[in-house]
Amino acid sequence: MKTGELADGFKIDKGLIDVHKAYGHRGYVAAGFRPSIEFDDASAHVSYRFSVTEGARYFMGKLIVNGLPAEDEERLRAKWTLGSNAVFDSSYVDDFGQKGLREFMMGLAQRSPGSRRPNVELKTKPDAQKQTVDVIISFNQTKDC
């Protein structure tokens, strides 16, 4: 937002989300923000300032895959390119969920036409002591209703 612009909470929130993503892209998954807000009633202005605490830099931990046969698990692992001990990149996980995992699921459907599509859950598990993030991809078969 620019000086003199009407305060917009949605823009401020979006800006903070974008900044958090930028830090997560560089391994700072525990970055914190502290707001400082000053109101000037006489001029009807408000000033927002945010201080950022990066925290520790995190690295890629383990890629854990649950619920797939060994052959399919190998195919999925081959698509994952963020190496163990590389600086963790939260945007890589988001992109993988959107693209790599989608391509993998389409390949599964082509190899097993007519089979049920499993539910997939993609989670991250930061470990503050080790300063690593494990990524867990779980496949659960849907049940008949």
- List, in sequence order, the alpha helices (H) in 98-138: 101-111
CB atoms within 10 A of CB 139: 19
d(CA 89, CA 26): 6
**Could you say which architecture CATH assigns to the domain 59-140?**
Roll (3.10)
Span 80-95, average pLDDT? 95
Backbone φ and ψ for 72, nearest 5 degrees, come out as -70, -35
Q: How confident is the model at residue 110 (pLDDT cuts 50, 70, 90)?
A: confident
Q: Strands, DSSP E only, in 3-128?
A: 32-40, 45-53, 59-66, 119-127
Q: Is the pLDDT of residue 43 over 70?
A: yes
- Please tell me the predicted confidence (pLDDT) of residue 54: 92
Nearest one of 140, 133, 141, 139 to 63, comparing CA atoms: 133
Backbone φ and ψ for 19, nearest 5 degrees, come out as -65, -40
Q: How confident is the model at residue 145 (pLDDT cuts 50, 70, 90)?
A: very low
What are the structure tokens assigned to 22, written together? 């930028």
For the chain, residues classed under CATH 3.10.20.310 are 59-140
d(CA 90, CA 25): 5
- Please tell me the predicted confidence (pLDDT) of residue 122: 95
- Please tell me the predicted confidence (pLDDT) of residue 6: 82
% of the chain exceeding 90 in pLDDT: 66
